[in-house]
A and B are shown apart, each in its own frame.
Chain A
Amino acid sequence: MMSEGIGARVVRKEDKRFITGKGKYTDDVRLHGMTYASFVRSPHAHAKIKSIDVEAAKAMPGVVDVLTGQQLVDDKIGNLICGWMIHSKDGTPMKMGAWPAMAPETVRFVGNAVAVVIAETRNQARDAAEAVEVAYEELPVAADIRAAIAPDAPQIHPEAPGNVIYDWTIGDEAATNEAFKKAANVVAMDIVNNRLSPNAMEPRAAVAEYDPAEEHFTLYTTSQNPHVARLVLSAFYNVAQEHKLRVIAPDVGGGFGSKIFIYPEEMVALWASKRTGRPVKWTSDRTEAFLTDAHGRDHLTKAEMAFDKDNKIIGLRVKTHANLGAYMSLFSSSVPTYLYATLLSGQYNIPNIFAEVVSVYTNTAPVDAYRGAGRPEASFVMERLMETAARQLKVDPAELRRKNFITQFPHQTPVIMAYDTGDFGASLDAALKAADYAGFPARKAKAKAEGKLRGIGFSCYIEACGIAPSKAVGSLGAGVGLWESCEVRVNPVGTIEILTGSHSHGQGHETTFAQVVADRLGIPTSQVSIVHGDTDKVQFGMGTYGSRSGAVGMSAIVKAMEKVEAKAKKIVAHQLEASENDIVIENGEFKVTGTDKKIALPMVALAAYTAHNLPDGMEPGLKETAFYDPTNFTFPAGAYICEVEIDPGTGKTEFVNFVAADDFGRLINPMIVEGQVHGGLAQGIGQALLEHAVYDKSGQLVTASFMDYAMPRADDLPSFKLSHTTTLCPGNPLGIKGCGEAGAIGSTPAVINAITDAIGHDRITMPASPNEVWHAIHQKQAAE
């Protein structure tokens, strides 16, 4: 029985429907009388809309209506919001330009919607969208950070002069400058973090239905946080009142951050369903996904690290320009600030840190959180600096890191974070052993003899997960609290439903959440079902991102279970005439310790609902709710080592070995945790070697299909060697730290560090394609 509890490698309950083709994703929803939406999108990166002629489209077969941005304005539908306020160093609030769901006057990126066709079939909607005539007056374009901050840059939003959204700082500038004056050595680097497309395999979709009799809306959507979607759609966008809107996020085919945000298409589908009186379905095609899903990363950074004569870090100075695209997406402002710069201490004891972040508008798709969100960018800066420093200081990269590791906990960094616990040395030791670091020089020599370049790269990452204490994020500008809720319903027959505000889009909650409950009660997981993703069923929740489902969502389950168990014990104590303090729960039974008296869970549940024999004054029923607000972020950390071999003739990088040693605190289901790491590693390695969202100077997205955007395929990746060391998180009842983003955070620098080690210099930019690596090798040879 307990083999299904915490720590067991239980196969997933949800898999049955997925492997038999019975999953229910948003595009699988079909409603009576359903119509299809197709958006008319701007082909220009920056242009004034002179006119929109919809008459020809309206006359086409099957067309129900054609709606424009001006009609949205006329119906007083609100602009999209950004939910995290950042103030510039001069104290002024961030400069936010308006983002209407469909542009009435100006388009600011290729793919910006200007109108929508509603028709009887998908093809009729697409045909008619082609027939909408839009006259544009093209405007000058700023398609990247450098173009946006140039003195003669085109103005993208009138509200943000010079295209600067905010110029934000953290840390002590004077003390950090002072540390640099005292430094024995300074390592300085320009670091580019390339832009990525998230590419969940399920494209975004929305099905909206309006019921005029009840003035009630239902929205099926590909969301990582349906309650937040409902809140924002009602409180800010004016498409429906919160109690008149049900948001259902059914099976969701991957999110990786891109499905946290509320997008124009969901708003328009709801609004159009009311205007047309018909259910409306919109499903993104892959090119629309590339054009309009929020992208990730895209930083330009100047970073300097100061060392004393003993190679101890005494200061870190960072200036980053972050590209937020043409409009500010829901959480975009927080990503390069509180999710990035606060992690710039890495695993290291750095007494002085100062970071400045300038976020800018460009004529590109909005940029927001993507797997890891800010933390991969921070980890990349820190670990590239450490590797380069080791090379410049001529010390072993592992030993330079070890010398600077934080070893005393709790540890307060100069950039807000209070690390609660960790053992960075243990992770590094585990990784070194698994990678056979001692044997590397011999392997490198052998490769050299065979005409190959071999390199080994390290990455010792830390992240802040479990986002986070509501009071803390509120003080930093967040527009929402970041607690989680859980309702535990013990049914009269003893089966249990867990209603959670967390949302599963591949993470296996139906299994792991059931394991936590099964573990506490000693029952099989089949007796527990997990209910999530529907605002009519679950009262409220904040959804899943930032590896918060374990540390925050499961903690809410524990809190609710504690209440249920306490009440159940009172019932049992009353019925068995024992003290409730003497009741223990084992194998699904409530037992009086030291006796053979016991009552099985179903009978306790039945007693609660029949209410024939309860303690005086006790309410009937066995159902409890908890809202859990964490006391701190959690701090997963680990050490990754990558060994590569490069063919100097082709520049192709082959993996010899990839080792990941992580500390995630307690693991509920190691099989699922490993799966999360595998997926993260693939995304981080994808960034290092393959992936790049490329805009040309005119703002056209050159990589708008899988034929142009290099997604990692099975043949591009190795099998991974994983291991775990454990320090339990002291901040939550289960000791969980979170595992969802680690792989994506830690792997990218490890790969690039390995390549720089192999080629013998640091002048390489991501993605390190064979072409890039070949040129890097041959530039070096030419220079020598």
Chain B
Amino acid sequence: MSSVKLTVNGKAVSADVEDRTLLVHLLRDHLGLTGTHVGCDTSQCGACIVHIDGRAVKSCTTLVGQANGANVTTIEGISKGDTLHPMQAAFRDNHGLQCGYCTPGMIMSAIDIVHRHQGDLDEATVRHELEGNICRCTGYHNIVKSVLDAAGRMKVAAAAE
């Protein structure tokens, strides 16, 4: 057992967990943040992506100990009150989701993509950058549209701030 301290969605969290506990299970089972999903066990599908210190990371293969002291943001932590994050709004407006299971990981990954490219994205880049996320429902067509749309929205939002 180990004691860990981290910040999740702005709140300080401490927990005593088995050393083998994965971050996704801390989030889901201990903190009740069930928006982060497990779709595989091999870091292939991306349904479990969260941000650790601002970077997209697969929480199904991250030990809680590796996140000790870190700042973790999950899908539950990206909207401001009732105001959706521009990426969330873009997924809704472009029908970028169907069953919704891969969606939190897609959104967390997509936000990171837009940040890293500073909003300068084209279709080919988005498709390439989404290689760590699998969706079985949408054929990616509308996910790609959503990310490109959100890139524009996030630029506007950043300019306004």
A residues within 8 Å of B by Cβ?
Answer: 11-12, 14-25, 27-28, 30, 122-123, 199-203, 251-254, 256, 283, 285-287, 505-508, 671-672, 674-676, 678-683, 705-707, 711-715, 717, 719-720, 743
What's the least CB distance linking B42 to chain A, in Å?
5
A253–B34 touching, CB < 8 Å: no
Bound CA span A672–B138, Å? 10
A679 in complex: contacting residue of B28, B29, B76, B137, CB < 8 Å: B137
The minimal Cβ–Cβ distance linking B121 to chain A, given in whole angstroms, is 13
Mark out the residues of chain B between 6 and 52 whose CB falls within 8 Å of any chain A CB in the assembled complex. Answer: 18, 20, 25, 28-29, 32-42, 44-45, 47
Total cross-chain contacts (CB, 8 A): 183
In the complex, per-residue mask of B105-133: 1 if CB is within 8 Å of any chain A CB, else 0: 00100000000000000010011101101
Contact B103 A19 (CB under 8 A): yes
Chain B hits for A30, CB < 8 A: 29, 32
Across the interface, do B95 and A20 meet the contact criterion of CB distance under 8 Å?
no
Instruction: Give bound CA distance, A22 to B107, whole Å.
Output: 14
The residue on B at minimum CB distance from A286 is: B40
Residues of A contacting B40 with CB < 8 Å?
286, 705-706
Q: Indicate if the CB atoms of B100 and A678 lie closer than 8 Å.
A: no
Closest to B108 in A: A21
Q: Is the CB of A254 within 8 A of B101?
A: yes
Which residues of chain B come closer than 8 Å to A719, judged between CB atoms? 123, 141, 144
Question: Do B34 and A706 touch across chains, with their CB atoms under 8 A apart?
Answer: no
- Determine which of A506, A681, A713, A720 lies in contact with B100 in the assembled complex, contact meaning CB atoms within 8 Å: A506
Least CB separation from A9: chain B residue: B95
Contact with A along B79-98 (1 / 0, CB 8 A): 10000100010011101011
Q: Identify the closest chain B residue to A684 (Cβ).
A: B139
Give the chain B neighbours of A286 by CB distance below 8 A. 39-42, 45
In the complex, A285→B41 CA distance in Å?
7
Closest to A253 in B: B101
Across the two chains, which residue of chain B brings its CB closest to A25? B101
Closest A residue, CB atoms, query B39: A201
Is A705 a contact of B35 with CB atoms below 8 Å?
Answer: no
Across-interface contacts of A680 in B (CB, < 8 A): 139
Number of interface residues of B (CB under 8 A): 56
Question: Is the Cβ of B100 less than 8 Å from the Cβ of A23?
Answer: yes
B74 at interface by CB-CB < 8 Å: yes
Other than the given A24-B34, A201-B134, 10 more pairs (CB < 8 A) read: A12-B92, A17-B100, A19-B91, A19-B100, A21-B34, A25-B34, A253-B37, A253-B99, A285-B41, A714-B127
CA distance A24 to B74 in the complex (A): 16
Q: With A202-B39, A706-B42, A714-B126 as given contacts, are A21 and B74 in contact (CB-CB < 8 Å)?
A: yes
CB neighbours of A675 from chain B (8 A): 95, 98, 137-138, 141-142
How far is B25's CA from A743's CA once the two chains are assembled, in angstroms?
Answer: 36
A657 vs chain B, min Cβ distance (A): 14
| B contact residues around A15 at 8 Å (CB) | 91-92, 97, 100
Chain A residues, CB < 8 A from B97: 15, 18-19
Contact B42 A707 (CB under 8 A): yes
Whether A27 pairs with B41 at a CB distance below 8 angstroms is no
Nearest residue, chain A, Cβ from B135:
A201
CA A254 – CA B39 in complex, angstroms? 11
